[in-house]
Amino acid sequence: MQHKELTEKIIGCAMTVHNTLGNGFQEVIYQRALAIELSKAGLAYSRELDMIIYYDGIEIGTRRVDFFVESTIMVELKAITSLEEVHLAQAMNYLEAYKMEIGLLINFGSKSLQFKRVHNNKLLGRF
């Protein structure tokens, strides 16, 4: 699996945050804590980076993604009771819009940390 080592490091950082804080906080709290853990792990990241969304080559808006790690992995955070298919679809749409190959959807809101690796099927296998 491509990017396995990097996604495992990011998930490890998220597990540390969840083990320390538990569930029940707002997403921004987990975002700030994850930024600290990513830095401690020596991972380069951009936080809340505005990305332009295009439709048919025309700019139609922007979306702010929670993290881009090592300019390779998009990380979208949630703090909800349980991940649903709509959240997975949203993360997949972001990957396609940003032309990224892989991302992580991480949920801090449940009793146990939830995470999903998300792949952009339009780019998979091109590299």
DSSP string, 29-88: HHHHHHHHHHHHTT--EEEEEEEEEEETTEEEEEEEEEEEETTTEEEEEE-SSS--HHHH
Average pLDDT over residues 83-94: 88
The domain spans of the chain are 4-119
- For strand 73-78 and strand 102-107, is the pairing parallel, antiparallel, or unpaired? parallel
Residues 17 and 28: beta-carbon distance below 8 Å: no
- Does the CA dihedral 12-75-26-24 come out positive or negative? negative
Residues 12-59 have pLDDT tens digits of: 999 999 999 999 999 999 999 999 999 999 999 999 888 888 889 899
Q: Which two tokens stand for residue 14?
A: 């998220």
Number of CB atoms found within 10 A of residue 60's CB: 9
- Which 8-state DSSP code applies to residue 106? E
- pTM (2 d.p.): 0.88
Among 15-24, 44-53, 85-94, 97-106, which range has the highest average pLDDT? 15-24
Topology (CATH) of 4-119: Lambda Exonuclease; Chain A (3.90.320)
